[in-house]
Structures are given as C-alpha cells and as structure tokens.
Amino acid sequence: MPDFIKGFRSGTKGRFYLDNLYPAEAHDYWEIILILEGTGYMQVEDHQYPFKPGTIFCIPPHKVHQNVPDDYYADYCLGIHKYLVPGEDVNVFEDDADHNFLNLLKLYHFVNTRKPVNAENILESIETLLQHILICWLDRRPNPELLELGQVIRRNSSNPEFKVSDAIDAIPMNDDYIRRQFRELYGCTPVAYLNKLRIQHACRFLLATNLSVGELAYRCGFNDPKYFTRIFTRATGLSPKEYRRTNMDAKDHRQKNQPIFEFDE
C-alpha cells in the first residue's frame, strides 16, 4: 500500500486566543507538513519553529506537535511510513520559488482522489520524489543558531530587562548577517519579532484584565508606557484604551476580526 496524504486542512484562532487551535497530536508515522497560508510557529514538544507560507516540517513519529498561528493558517499534510530523509529529529525546509514541492503535493492529492489506473505506483513515485527533493535541500535548512535566537526572544518576551542586542552578541556570527537571515526565517527583524510577541501579550491582557496601561506595559516587557502605546498603536491601528473598549463592547470578541499588524523595523 502506498503511504497516504491527509490532505488540506486549515485552522484559525481569535487573533490572540489559545482555545481554538488545531489540537496537539502525535502519530506512529512521519508527517510532512507544508504551510500554505499564515504565519506562526510549530510547537514540537519543548521546541518552537517559526512558519510562513512555503515552510515544510518533517515531524518524527510519536512527537507531540501543534500549529500555533498568529491568526489563520492552512497546510497540506502527508503521512510517511517509509521515511528516506536522513536524521531522526524534526527537519525544517522552505519550498523553492517555483513551488515545486507544493505542486507535487497537489499532484499526489489529485491522484489519491481520482484513483486513475496504476494510482498506487504513481503515488509511490511522487512520494519518493518528494523525499529526494528534501534530501537535496538538506543544506538549505535554517541555521539552528537562528532558531535558538527565536526561542530566546520568545522565552524573554515578557522580561523588560531583556535586550535583543545581547542575544545577538552571544552568537558567533556577524550581526548584520544574523539580522538578514533572521528576517528571511521569521519574516521580520529580531527587534520587530520581540515587539510582535509583546503586542500579542498586551492584546490578551487588555481583554482579560483591568490592568492600567502602565502596569500592562511592564508585564508585557516594556519599560516605557509611552513607547508601548506608540508601538501598540502603530501595530494595531488603535491605542491600548481604544483596543480594549472596542473589543470589550463586542458581544463576542472572540469572533470579532482583530486588526492585522506588521512590523517592519
């Protein structure tokens, strides 16, 4: 029997709520996941890996994993019992500019759905080709030190004393190179990524507590409430007070569209 594709799935959560995620799961087979839409991170046990459209995850058997999107995501999933890519841990890749990996997955899905003559042989051939593409891309995997930098930033996102520059200085690479590669991996600079996480914390606190803006700013990692207000307003289009009032006035703020924000620092 050929290995199988689980197919297209999508998930969403109220922009900063954690109660409507695609559930954590683990399997007795390898799973290849291609992100089609959305940004966020993949939680694999104690590790977090950023994703954006085109990110490919190879998840080993029995590893509990979960997509945690910033807002919305969609992906293709392929279950693999005969895994050919070297290594026994999580592998992360990026699809190429021509979307060759995605196109092959679509072809796999088409064949698996339509069941033409010799479907099993075709599926096996596509599956083998997909994995050989990943083998060719092994030297394109994200730098583990940049993944660790992202983890450090996330772990310290609520710490007002944390400085991104100190975390960058701890990496034995050129600072400009680190920032360029980090932007390519995460879609923004390290400082912008830290601010993004802190604004996410702030949105949760604004709707879940009655903390003043000053108290909330400090809990979310900002020493200066005025700087926090400026960053928050630029990111969401609303001041913290306006954001709280607008969303608390909604009958069900979990269903209300939240402002989408981008960081270009």
What pLDDT digit, counting tens, does each position of 193-246 carry? Answer: 999 999 988 998 898 889 999 999 999 999 999 999 999 999 999 999 999 988
* Domain 144-249 superfamily per CATH: Homeodomain-like (1.10.10.60)
pTM as predicted: 0.67
Q: What are the tens digits of pLDDT across the range 167-198? A: 999 998 899 999 998 988 888 899 999 999 99
Stretch 42-59: mean pLDDT, rounded? 91
Q: What are the tens digits of pLDDT across the range 7-35? A: 555 444 333 333 345 688 899 999 999 99
Instruction: Please report, for residues 5, 62, 98, 130, 228, the alpha-carbon distance to residue 27 in angstroms, rounded to integers and kept in the order given.
Output: 13, 5, 30, 20, 42
Strand pairing class (65-69; 47-51):
unpaired
Domain boundaries, the chain: 4-140, 144-249
Instruction: Please name the residues in contact with 231: beta carbons below 8 A apart, sequence gap of 6 or more.
Output: 195, 198, 199, 222
Backbone angles phi, psi at 116, to 5 degrees: -70, 180
**pLDDT confidence of residue 101:** 95
Name beta bridge partners: 29: none
**Kind and range of the H or E run holding 37:** strand 30-37
Tell me the CATH class for 4-140.
mainly beta
